[in-house]
Each structure stands twice: as C-alpha cells, then as structure tokens.
A and B are shown apart, each in its own frame.
Chain A
C-alpha cells in the first residue's frame, strides 16, 4: 500500500517528464500574465492577449467565488444535468445498442431511423426541446442526453458486432443457451466498448450542457443571484455583466469538471474490465 502511494506520488517528483510538465504550465502562465498586463508593464498592448484577464486576476476572482454559494450551485446544477442526461443515455443506449447488435430484424428497422437522427447536432434540438418538454430543466437534460446517447449506441453496436464468431461457436458447442451466451459472451465482450462510448459520451455531455444553458437562459436563473443557472449560464451571465475574470473561471471550471468525470469513468472502466490490465 505504502509502496503504491510512493509509486504514485513520490516517484514522479524525480522524473524529468513530471518537471517538464510543471515547467511548461509555469511558462504558459507567466507568458499569459505578461501578455495580459502588457499595456501597463510594457507600454504596448499586445494584440488579443491584452484583452484577456491575467491569471493572477482570475485566481483572485476564483478565490472570491469559492466563498460564493451561487458559484457552487452552478457546479451542482450543471453536474446534475450531465449526470441525468448521461445516466439516461446509458440506460437507454446500452440496451438499444445491444438489441440492434443481436437482432438483425431490429437492426434493419431501427438503424436507418437512428442514422437520420444522429447527424442532427444536439444543440439544434434546444428550441424544439424547450417547446416539447414541460420544464426548462427537462429540456436541458434531454439535450444533454442526446449528446451522450449516439456515442454510446454506436460504440455498443460496434463492440458487440466485433466479438469473435469463434466465441459463439465454442459457447454453443459447450451447451450454452441463448440467454447464457448473451449474459456471459455478448455482455462482457461489449463491456470495453461500452466504457469507450461512455467516456466519449460524457465529454460531449459537458460540451452540450454548457451551450444548452447559455441558449436556454439556464433554467432556474435568478433564484440564486446571477449564478444560479449552471456553469454555462454562469459564463454567459459573466459576459453580459462584463466580468471577464469570471468568464475564465467558468471556463476552467468546466475543464476541471469534464476532467474529473472522464477520470472517474476511466477508473470505473478499469475496474469492470480487469482482463484488459497487464500482469
């Protein structure tokens, strides 16, 4: 256990790769700082960069916002929508993909419909979704759902269809029933693709939820001051209010949120597909 912790957190401190990474980020931040403050520090406003708030200013705003429940409520709202949409996409997408993979008839019926809907960007659904669903909240969750749905379904179908035909032959020879084959061959055989689909899907979900919140006005905006409509609305509202440092904080927040959710999925994926690990 201790050695694992050492491997994980202490050894990297001695590797060149780790320090090169630290150096790169530091240089980036310093250049950004200089660029942002070029007008006062160098007397010359650098194009574009001088309009972006400096990292120190962003950090200061971020520290302020940490104490603001409205900011955290934005996190909560967006995460909730991502979670709802993502879970719904998994619950509907996995069985649908599996059904299309195992049944030729079902595939023939559903796939053309699916392929017509798939190229429609989830964001194109926002207006229709607002009209269709009774609450703003549901329409955002629905658009989020669409973002993950297609990635999951496509991966499940592809994964299930790529299972080696000899596995089915071997299983049938050994006396497996169809249900047994489904449960012990198709399901585990598709699992790695489900993990891939989910990881791709959740990334799209974050992209979609932010845009949907901006367009729809963030649903419950107003109840918690300016920052009650999720991170997307938080960014939009900061822009409207002219607080540029908040825009950057919002952007970074989404980066962090997306990273955390993908990392969690990868961990979970590793855990449920132990045969793909080495050793």
Chain B
C-alpha cells in the first residue's frame, strides 16, 4: 500500500496518545447493576483495571460475562452504579471524542457513503476543512477503500465495513480506541487477514487501544497486556503481560513457546471460570468445559 508523502496527515494519523497528551483510562471499583429489588442483576462487580497509554490492552472472557457492559460504561453511554472511570485523571461523565468505540458487527451509517461516514465526526464538529479532508483521504487509502469511497455500507464486504469503521474512528484522532469484538462475524480467512492488518495499523500508530474479544488466539496475537475476566458479575481475574516482539506475524505465534505458555495460562483461567458457571448451571459453559477437558486429557 503506497502512502502519501504528505507529512501533515501522517502526523495526525500517527498521533496516538501523545498528540492528545494522554490516553490512560482507569476503571476503579466499578459495579453495574440493572433493575432493582428482586429483579436486580449485577453484571459488573468491583472491577478495577487500567489501560496504559500507547498499549494495546485486550480483554478476554466468556460470552455474556459483561464485557459489552464495561465498554458502554467506559464509552460513557451508561453510568456505573458504583465506582469511577477516568481518563487521564478526568472522570468520564458521558460519551466523548477521546474514547471512540468500534462496535460489534458494523455501526456504519447505512445512508452515508464510505467517505461521508468517515467525515461524520469532523462535520459534526464543523471541521470539514482541507486538513481533515486530507486526513480522510489518507485514511481511505490506508484502509484500502479509496476506490469504494462512494459506496454505501450495505454495498461493502464485511471486512471493508470493519476497515471503514476503523477509519471513521481514527479520523477523529481519539486518545483511546475501544474495539468491541470488531472481527466477530467475519469468515475465518477474512478474520485472520483483518487481524494481521489491524496489528500493522496498531504497530504504526501505537494508539492507546482497548480491544475486547472471545478469541484467545486473536487476544494473544494482538495484546500487549491481557485482561482475563471472570464470569458474570464481571471482574478482572488475572492480568497477563504479553511480551512478544513486534511486529508480530500470525505464523510466528503458532511456534512461539512464550505465546503458547500464555495461551495455556489464559485457557486454564478461563476453564476455571467456565467450571464455576457450569456448576451454577450455565449451558454455554458446558461446551467449553467438555472440549477443554478432552483437549488436556489427550496425551501429546
């Protein structure tokens, strides 16, 4: 992919946390309960963790463990019942440009072309100027969608939609990007390509990122740091540092002992969590427990 020789968009693009001067997101003793009285359901309980500036923090946990709820709290769409969330020391009180979410499936506006989607944020803030347009062009090229600029989202493939959505967030130069299972629903091949593509993108920009997934291989491939979550109500069960050299390639990870060690560690934690929820009667956990025990009982 050829990159424009222009310095201005490149700087903005690579701006990451430093350009905005921050990106450290802190979650402290956060709880979230829906409903009240007899119907109260606590989804997140006493959850604390930090997302370090310039790092890619991946959160992994069983489906339905409250990861998406945490994202809504961090993005400011909902308020925690208890505890505080702050970015660079300032409490989060609502949605903001410093924390942009790339949603599960696609949340591109169907009635806007790729280009108009990318320019949505700048236009909303009255910044449809030459500089922003240049950045939009740069990003279009970066995500390989220059040719598809005038297409509407339903006319794009799944992978293109995700890339367009990444560009739509990046054009606003957020301090933190929050990605909620962004590659879910893609076919296996496209998913791998998107993971590699996304790793390159991150390695180039080092923008502070919070990435949520249920895919352990994706998690280890991308993460600087891995947060393993408990079952609902959600808390951080363990923090694993993923000290693998960058740039990373998917093939290397299969052979890397370090990667496999971290994977086993994470899997056994997830297994313990699944056992607990299986004991409480969760049907979803049963599959995991069954498959996992077959896997480790098999002699190598």
Contacts and interface: CB of A to CB of B under 8 A. Distances in A.
Interface of A: 164, 166-167, 169-177, 180, 184-185, 188-189, 191, 273-276, 278-279
Most buried by A among B72, B111, B120, B125: B111
A166 B108 CA distance: 9
B11 to A, nearest CB: 21
Given A184-B120, A275-B152, A275-B153, A172 B110 contact: no
A247 B153 CA distance: 50
Contacts of A172: 77, 94-95
B154 interface: yes
Given A169-B95, A276-B154, A279-B155, A174 B110 contact: no
Contact of A174 (B112, B121, B154, B155): B121
A276 B153 CA distance: 10
A278 B77 contact: no
A8 to B, nearest CB: 22
Describe A's contact surface by its main secondary structure: helix
B107 interface: yes
B58 to A, nearest CB: 21
Give me the 5 closest cross-chain CB pairs, A-B, nearest first.
A174-B121, A275-B152, A188-B111, A166-B107, A176-B124
Nearest to B171: A174
B154 A275 contact: yes
The bracket for how many chain B residues form the interface is: 20 to 34
B100 interface: yes
A185 B152 contact: no
B96 A167 contact: no
Given A171-B124, A174-B125, A279-B155, 20 more contacts: A164-B107, A169-B77, A170-B103, A170-B107, A170-B109, A171-B120, A172-B77, A172-B94, A173-B75, A173-B101, A174-B97, A174-B100, A174-B120, A174-B172, A175-B172, A180-B124, A184-B120, A185-B109, A189-B111, A275-B152
B111 A275 contact: yes
A175 B76 CA distance: 13
B75 to A, nearest CB: 6
Nearest to A168: B77
B130 to A, nearest CB: 20
Contact of B125 (A175, A188, A275, A279): A175
B99 interface: yes
28 contacts: A166-B103, A167-B107, A167-B109, A169-B95, A171-B120, A171-B124, A172-B94, A172-B95, A173-B75, A173-B96, A173-B100, A174-B97, A174-B120, A174-B121, A174-B125, A175-B124, A175-B125, A175-B172, A184-B112, A184-B120, A184-B124, A188-B111, A275-B111, A275-B152, A275-B153, A275-B154, A275-B155, A279-B155
Interface in B87-108: 94-97, 99-101, 103, 107
Most buried by A among B75, B99, B120, B153: B120
Contacts of B155: 275, 278-279
Contacts of A171: 120, 124
Contacts, number: 67
Interface string B152-173: 1111000000000000000010
B282 to A, nearest CB: 27
Contacts of B72: 169
Contacts of B77: 169, 172
Nearest to A278: B155
Nearest to A169: B77
A169 B154 CA distance: 20
Given A174-B121, A180-B124, A279-B155, A169 B101 contact: yes
A171 B76 CA distance: 13
Interface in B187-241: none
A175 B75 CA distance: 13
Nearest to B75: A173
A130 to B, nearest CB: 43
A101 to B, nearest CB: 17
A91 B101 CA distance: 37
B124 A174 contact: yes
Nearest to B99: A173
A175 B72 CA distance: 16
Contacts of B101: 169-170, 173
B107 A175 contact: no
Nearest to A188: B111
A75 to B, nearest CB: 37
Given A166-B103, A274-B152, A278-B155, A175 B97 contact: yes
Contacts of A276: 154
A174 B123 CA distance: 10
A172 B99 CA distance: 11
Interface string B112-145: 1000000011001100000000000000000000
Most buried by B among A169, A176, A177, A279: A169
A191 B100 contact: no
Contacts of B125: 174-175
B121 A275 contact: no
